[in-house]
Homo-oligomer: A and B are copies of this chain.
Amino acid sequence: METDQAPRPITPEECVVTRTLTFVGSRWTPLVIWHLLDGVKRYGELRQALPGISPKTLADRLQALEERGLVTRTVHPEKPPRVEYALTPRGFALGRILDDVARWGEEWEDAD
């Protein structure tokens, strides 16, 4: 007998998809990842590439991405200082999913 699931109640906090999407869906996060797919980037390069972002928001996003293991942060103790950000393998894996999202999103909006 297959237990035909009336899927039991589940909260957003218990749902891995929700956790993932609320994290990745933060306003600037997909664009940060997208730029890093292109290769290692400095803080200032990202800032230029993200028109209108505030330094605080960029720092927040990069810290969050680093904490969650999607981005590495490397400090070169020079003068002037140089800090570089790069995607981890898991960050790249996410980038591939974002491609799927992009394709789906384009069809979706075209059909409006």
A contact set with B: CB distance below 8 Å: 5-7, 9-12, 15-22, 24-25, 27-28, 30-31, 34-35, 38, 48-52, 68-69, 90, 93-94, 97-98, 100-102, 104-109, 111-112
Contact = CB atoms under 8 A, between A and B. Distances in A.
Given A9-B49, A107-B90, A98 B17 contact: yes
A87 to B, nearest CB: 13
Contacts of A18: 25, 27-28, 30-31
Contacts of A19: 105, 109
A70 B25 CA distance: 18
B20 A22 contact: no
Nearest to A35: B7
A17 B102 contact: yes
A106 B102 CA distance: 22
A22 B25 CA distance: 5
A24 B21 contact: yes
Contacts of A15: 30-31, 34
Nearest to A70: B108
A21 B101 contact: yes
